[in-house]
Structure 1
Amino acid sequence: MRLEGKVALLTGAASGIGAATAELFVKEGAKVVVADRNIEQARRVASALGDRALAVGVDVVIAQQISDAVGATVEAFGGLDILVNNAGLGIRGSVVSTLEEDWDRIIDVNLKSVYLCSKYAIPEIAKRGKGAIVNISSTAAMCGIPDRAAYVASKGGVAALTRSMALDHADQNIRINSIAPGVIWSSYYEKMLKEVPDPEGFVNGLKARAPINRMGQPHEIATMALFLASEESSFATGAIFTVDGGYTAR
Structure 2
Amino acid sequence: MTSEAREYEGLSALVTGGASGIGRATAELLAARGAAVTVLDLDIAGVTKPLLARRGDVTDDASVREAVSSAAAEMGGLDILVNNAGIGAQGTVEDNDDDQWHHVLDVNVLGMVRTTRAALPHLRRSAHAAVVNTCSIAATAGLPQRALYGASKGAVLSLTLAMAADHIREGIRVNCVNPGTADTPWIGRLLDAAPDPEAERAALEARQPTGRLVSADEVAAAIAYLASPAAGATTGTSLAVDGGMQGLRLRPAQS
Higher share in helix? 1
Q: Which residue of 2 aligns with 1:2?
A: 7
- 1:17 shift after superposition: 0.2
- 1:8 shift after superposition: 0.4
CA distance in 2, matches of 1:194, 1:97: 20
Indicate the larger mover: 54-63 or 124-133: 124-133
CA distance in 2, matches of 1:217, 1:130: 27
Identity of aligned residues (%): 40
Q: Which residue of 1 aligns with 2:70?
A: 72
Amino acid at match of 1:34: V
After the TM superposition, list the runs of 4 or more consecutive aligned residues in structure 1 that deviate by more than 4 angstroms: none
Q: Which residue of 2 aligns with 1:208?
A: 206
- 1:125 shift after superposition: 0.7
Which of 178, 181, 185 is the aligned partner of 2:179? 181
Q: Which residue of 2 aligns with 1:57?
A: 55
CA distance in 2, matches of 1:111, 1:196: 27
Give unmatched runs, 5+ long, in structure 2.
1-5, 250-255
Indicate the larger mover: 226-235 or 17-26: 226-235
Q: Which residue of 2 aligns with 1:144?
A: 142
Indicate the larger mover: 226-235 or 14-23: 226-235
Q: Secondary structure at the match of 2:246?
A: helix
Show the 5 A alignment for 1:112-123: 112-123=110-121
Q: Which residue of 2 aligns with 1:235?
A: 233
Which of 18, 22, 37 is the aligned partner of 2:23? 18
How many residue pairs are counted as aligned between the two chains? 243
Q: Which residue of 2 aligns with 1:88?
A: 86
Give unmatched runs, 5+ long, in structure 1.
none
Contact 2:128/2:229, CA 8 A, preserved across alignment: no
TM-score by length of 1: 0.94
RMSD of Structure 2 on Structure 1 (CA) = 1.0
Which of 225, 243, 246 is the aligned partner of 2:244? 246
- 1:129 shift after superposition: 3.5
CA distance in 2, matches of 1:100, 1:147: 16
Amino acid at match of 1:211: P
Matched, 1:217 2:215: yes
- Map Cα deviations across residues 36-70 of structure 1 (whole Å, 9 max, x no partner): 01132xxx22x1x32xx211111101111110111
Show the 5 A alignment for 1:189-204: 189-204=187-202
